[in-house]
Amino acid sequence: MKIINVDIMQDTSEIVHYDEMGIPLYVRIGELSFYPGKKALCHWHEDMEFIRILKGEMNYYVNGHNVLLKENDGIMVNTRQLHYGYSVCQHDCTFICILFHPSLLSANKTLYRKYVQPVLDNRQLEYLYLDASRRESSLILKYLDQISERKKGGEAGYDLEIVGLLNLLWRNVFSLSEKGQPETEDTKASDIRLQKDMVSYIHQHFSEKITLDDIAASVGVCRSKCCRIFRRYLQQSPVDFMNTYRLEVSAYLLRNTDKSITQIAVDCGFNHLSYFSQQFIRHFKCTPREYRHNNL
């Protein structure tokens, strides 16, 4: 079973490790059990993201909307939207994840302006729920299955065939997007920008001693509004999000460096080794030393 392989930039955008350098395409089958607590970090990226549920169910959060993805259904997340997936009642879920940069659809500038740009620029279109029982959605889901199968087969020229399937898929995306989405409120758009900026601040200063007041002040809001925005869009308090990010960075350092556990704890903003170990065990269900040993 493949895992979803991504890193997070300091502005919270995701660095997608494409399957082949120079071709902005990522196709994987993943399981939520790969993620600590069966929950991915909140992020955004320039790529379009498609999820197709193969087994089980998944909660999906997009800009404050909580969407339940049922077995056989899926979702399209538009570019630059805050989103993440997490488990339903801690149950596992198997899914297809396909990301591609819109530039793959730009072979003809006129067609790109006519059919692609309107979807990308539509502020009201944060996501599309893909219901397998509805014809246009089922066609998109069928193309996702075919793309996954072509990638799995790995025959010569499979990537050319996938680009062709993406164009067929996009015809149905464009048709669905034309039907309109609920209007996005200006206040909501403003809060999403504040959320991105606060998460960016945490990513840039996580190794330092920062407080809730520091996080709120980074965007010029009060503590209560800061907490309210985090609760709405990330379902976590600012401090919980900060500690989760620190733990994710510490896990990366345990896997990829020879630094001592004490030094890693300090580098990740934990002033007390005992507290770091306690939080690490709660998050990863093992000690930092056991994690390093298991990931050598």
The pLDDT score that the predictor gives to residue 106 is 87
Whether the CB-CB separation of 81 and 127 falls below 8 Å is answered with yes
* Residue 252: strand, helix, or coil: helix
- pLDDT one-digit tens code per residue, 139-149: 999 999 999 99
| Judgement on whether residues 34 and 159 belong to the same structural domain of the protein | yes
| Judgement on whether residues 253 and 194 belong to the same structural domain of the protein | yes
* Residue 74: strand, helix, or coil: strand
The pLDDT score that the predictor gives to residue 11 is 47
> In the predicted model, is pLDDT for residue 3 greater than 50?
no
Task: With cut-offs at 50, 70 and 90, classify the pLDDT of residue 9.
Answer: very low
Bridge partners (DSSP) listed for residue 221: none
**Residue 33 CB partners (closer than 8 Å, separation 6+):** 92
Query: Which of 46-50, 80-84, 189-193, 234-238 reaches the highest mean pLDDT?
Result: 46-50
What CATH number is attached to the domain comprising 289? 1.10.10.60
| Judgement on whether residues 201 and 142 belong to the same structural domain of the protein | no
CA 105 to CA 84: how far, in whole Å?
A: 25
Q: What is the mean pLDDT of residues 157-175?
A: 94
> In the predicted model, is pLDDT for residue 183 greater than 50?
no
Q: Two tokens at 9?
A: 């930039």
Whether the CB-CB separation of 59 and 88 falls below 8 Å is answered with yes
Task: With cut-offs at 50, 70 and 90, classify the pLDDT of residue 192.
Answer: confident
What CATH number is attached to the domain comprising 81? 2.60.120.280
In which residue are the tokens 């944060």 written? 126
Q: What does R_g of the chain's alpha carbons equal in angstroms? A: 20
Mean predicted lDDT score pLDDT of the chain: 88
- Domain assignment present for 235: yes
Total number of domains in the chain: 2
**Residue 286 CB partners (closer than 8 Å, separation 6+):** 280, 294
The pLDDT score that the predictor gives to residue 185 is 53
**Residue 224 CB partners (closer than 8 Å, separation 6+):** none
Q: State which residues form the domain around 253.
A: 186-293
Task: With cut-offs at 50, 70 and 90, classify the pLDDT of residue 290.
Answer: very high
> In the predicted model, is pLDDT for residue 73 greater than 80?
yes
Which of the listed residues 156, 179, 202 is the one where a domain comes to its end?
Answer: 179
Residue 287 CB neighbour total at 10 angstroms: 14
Which of the listed residues 131, 151, 179 is the one where a domain comes to its end?
Answer: 179
Whole-structure pTM over 0.75, yes or no? no
* Residue 238: strand, helix, or coil: helix
Which of the listed residues 150, 179, 208 is the one where a domain comes to its end?
Answer: 179
The pLDDT score that the predictor gives to residue 20 is 84
Q: What is the DSSP string of 76-91?
A: EE-TT--EEEEESTT-
Whether the CB-CB separation of 169 and 177 falls below 8 Å is answered with no
| Judgement on whether residues 29 and 161 belong to the same structural domain of the protein | yes
The pLDDT score that the predictor gives to residue 13 is 54
Q: Which residue has the higher pLDDT, 8 or 241?
A: 241
Q: What is the mean pLDDT of residues 64-70?
A: 89
In which residue are the tokens 């056991």 written? 290
> In the predicted model, is pLDDT for residue 87 greater than 60?
yes
Q: What is the mean pLDDT of residues 9-38?
A: 79
Whether the CB-CB separation of 86 and 61 falls below 8 Å is answered with yes
- Domain assignment present for 146: yes
| Judgement on whether residues 147 and 207 belong to the same structural domain of the protein | no
Task: With cut-offs at 50, 70 and 90, classify the pLDDT of residue 10.
Answer: very low
DSSP annotation of 185 reads P
